[in-house]
Structure 1
């Protein structure tokens, strides 16, 4: 159980769901261990948050546990979408723990946001990767079949095809050096996805495809707070945490989930 997520399912305002999918990782696998590690390294955090004056255990968070992953990604995403749709229908906010970034597609399909905001080192706008059209490297392209627009914060790499796709009007790319000054100035509903590789790998070596010159944890925290407090946010996830470090990536992932919940609850 995620620490402090002790509310009964029927009374929950937020529901944690683990989605340990790990079938299309292209460099360092291990995202199947992500949800468990995020929960484990969140055990050291205090229940009380000084900034908001709130206790995490008072914020009606429930942990659904992990949904066991299998090799058929398309079928698995459909199943996860159903789990998350039930949460949305119960007027709760899904908090998805990956797993590879592909699982975000299930969260977006379940919540149908107007705007997709993502902290990510990569554009993830490929039509396919290594012949796989449902790879973690294609997730934002698929998301745009649901959401009206995508805002990718911290992106610093991509293929020529991806940069050409990113130049279209429904995609905004904010490079790492401009993220600190970015503000969410749009209307409608929002889904927020945190790919942990958006951080510089000096902070989060435990991820599949590390990319230097990234964001600081504090910059990522500020984005999470701003989106949670200033937009109508309907879903959140942390993805691409693996077991290839001493807990740095998982610790940041767990802390950002807590920041999201504290900020969302404080705004409400």
Structure 2
């Protein structure tokens, strides 16, 4: 495996062999198109996590009991194709060892590396943007292309993205666009999260899923520190409801696109809390 940094999540008390959850950071933001800085976010999330109690009262569960190993962060690289290759290698090892990877970005392009290992699964994304460009800034692995690249891997009717409220005309007119199910934040507001959860349940069925959370899917009122903020987003409690409903079906999980330079502390804290929600709801 790669060499990692040494800062660890406070509740990550397990070694790799005995862990059920393996967390690592990917400090990469070289294709970011608006506000860079997401390469700094893995350690900001770890710092915020220090303020959380290890005992999660909402689940009556002690998080360290889950068996968490934190590998630290991959080294900083600038080439997106190399980074994706590294992520693919690390997550393949974790999947093969029957453990659940928890990946902290960095920008959303890193998700492609993890999904490359997967077949016959569905994907659940939280995101303000459709990220469906075939290429952006002359790069097919730009963070604005992640859903399109994951569609190439997983195939039609395998991806649902919730919170969408920013789509270019180019993306909308693509013949492939309807092969992904996009659920807008406006639709969630109008229909209520309980109804949307039932619709997501029907779409996912008995499939295992890869779960990817782009922090800009959440409204900037709750998560201001992101690279490409969009107004009128999902509530933090709506995202928690989605995590609770689908964590047990998740074989992998990532949190991406947090940009600490623009944060007031709320975004990193929310990201840290979502790690706890993911693990505790999976265990209970």
TM-score class, shorter-chain normalisation, is over 0.9
Whether contact under 8 Å (1:192, 1:235) holds in the other structure is yes
Residues 162-173 of structure 1: matches in 2 within 5 Å? 162-165=171-174, 168-173=177-182
Q: Counterpart in 2 of 1:245?
A: 263
Confirm whether residue 199 of structure 1 aligns to residue 206 of structure 2.
no
Confirm whether residue 160 of structure 1 aligns to residue 169 of structure 2.
yes
Does the residue aligned with 1:101 lie in a helix, a strand or coil? coil
Whether contact under 8 Å (2:56, 2:276) holds in the other structure is no
Determine the C-alpha separation between the residues in 1 that align with 2:118 and 2:67: 20
Cα distance, 1:167 vs structure 2: 7.0
For the structure 1 residues 165 and 210, does the alpha-carbon distance in structure 2 shift closer, same or farther, using more than 3 Å as the test? same
Q: Counterpart in 2 of 1:12?
A: 19
Whether contact under 8 Å (1:7, 1:62) holds in the other structure is yes
Does the residue aligned with 2:88 lie in a helix, a strand or coil? helix
Q: Counterpart in 2 of 1:182?
A: 196
Confirm whether residue 67 of structure 1 aligns to residue 81 of structure 2.
no
2:62 to 33, 39, 55: 55
Q: Counterpart in 1 of 2:251?
A: 234
Whether contact under 8 Å (2:118, 2:154) holds in the other structure is no
- CA offsets, 1:61-80, max 9 Å, x none? 11011001311110111111
Q: Counterpart in 2 of 1:43?
A: 50
Cα distance, 1:168 vs structure 2: 4.7
Residue range with higher mean Cα deviation, 247-256 or 106-115: 106-115
For the structure 1 residues 46 and 166, does the alpha-carbon distance in structure 2 shift closer, same or farther, using more than 3 Å as the test? farther
Whether contact under 8 Å (1:111, 1:234) holds in the other structure is no
Moved over 6 A (4+): none
Cα distance, 1:107 vs structure 2: 1.6
Q: Counterpart in 1 of 2:4?
A: none
Does the residue aligned with 2:10 lie in a helix, a strand or coil? coil
Determine the C-alpha separation between the residues in 2 that align with 1:113 and 1:262: 26
Determine the C-alpha separation between the residues in 2 that align with 1:96 and 1:41: 16
Residue range with higher mean Cα deviation, 163-172 or 59-68: 163-172
Residues 5-154 of structure 1: matches in 2 within 5 Å? 5-112=12-119, 114-148=121-155, 149-154=158-163
- CA offsets, 1:248-268, max 9 Å, x none? 1111111111111111122xx
Q: Specify every segment of 5 or more residues in structure 1 that has no aligned partner in the other structure, as ranges.
A: none
Q: Counterpart in 1 of 2:229?
A: 210
Does the residue aligned with 1:125 lie in a helix, a strand or coil? coil
CA RMSD of aligned residues (A): 1.5
Determine the C-alpha separation between the residues in 2 that align with 1:101 and 1:166: 23
Cα distance, 1:202 vs structure 2: 1.6
Does the residue aligned with 1:144 lie in a helix, a strand or coil? helix
For the structure 1 residues 182 and 165, does the alpha-carbon distance in structure 2 shift closer, same or farther, using more than 3 Å as the test? farther
